[in-house]
Chain A
């Protein structure tokens, strides 16, 4: 993490790095933060195929993942255009290394039990719902277009998580305990969703994006309401919390996720079928 590393021109400064201030890099970084959240969570949700409680739930989580993958494709394509170095969606998804990914830690964490996944989906879909609602009026037409389509998709994702959290929370003593444990497990990763970062500040100033901190109230209110109905309690302020994803600093799980995601594309460069 020494100063002056060139992360293909799209890296925004971490704590000890030279701040990136040119608009192209900041715009690209903002698009990557949106696209990488969707791409990486799509990968995690895809892991549920054949592992969900029923085949119907395999389908549901697969559909959510595919919705997110569709969002990621459009956003990563746009990031490549703005960057202007000839990288398409495949190059963005398959040929970037860990330090170039700008997703939050929440979406890269390994799959827990089903309750924990519903806790993660509830938070993430609630965040994305607030996010895309705001981005409908983005000055970047691609972002506005994606947001318009995606807001309906994430509305359904949020509903799916809500239905399950209500049933598991207000179900049996075992389901209640495991749902509460799932909420506790994801809680240290939640705050990062609402944390402002350099590229988002640039994007908000230029009408392209929105400051994550302005979304938190809506997200928290929605989740708190669901938890109350589900007889669950909002976890206490965690003693530690994840940070750094937006600057490309990830947790241990991220390298393994990318290895699986990118393996085929890197083993057979340019392969088509």
Chain B
């Protein structure tokens, strides 16, 4: 049970019904079931959630910092893509 032998897992918690799971952090665990339990102990001690997902970090394909310019900068001057020209009713909290 060497420390190097425990893979890394990404943890996603849904704060309450109606919201989506958000990434809260990562942790080590020997397998997925233990990762889920560790996530319960590390990230939901203070009633932070009603549902947990864990994903092996190795299974996530991520954009790299070098790709930042081509990935994200072109969106900077496309103001017409933002829905700021609509009136949002006051009662709609999460849009």
Contacts and interface: CB of A to CB of B under 8 A. Distances in A.
B3 A56 contact: no
Q: Which among A54, A55, A163, A175 has the greatest number of chain B C-beta atoms within 10 A?
A: A54
B95 interface: no
Interface string A13-57: 000000000000000000000000000000000000000011111
Interface in B30-65: 30-31, 33-34, 37-38, 40-42, 45
B41 A56 contact: yes
Secondary structure call for the A interface: helix
B1 interface: yes
* Contact-residue bracket for chain B: 10 to 19
Identify the interface centre among B1, B28, B31, B40: most chain A CB within 10 Å of its CB: B1
A63 interface: yes
Interface in A130-187: 156, 159-160, 163, 167, 175
B57 to A, nearest CB: 14
Contacts of B27: 56
B45 A63 contact: yes
A56 B29 CA distance: 8
Contacts of B71: none
B38 A167 contact: no
11 contacts: A54-B3, A56-B28, A56-B29, A56-B41, A59-B42, A60-B37, A60-B38, A63-B41, A163-B37, A167-B30, A175-B1
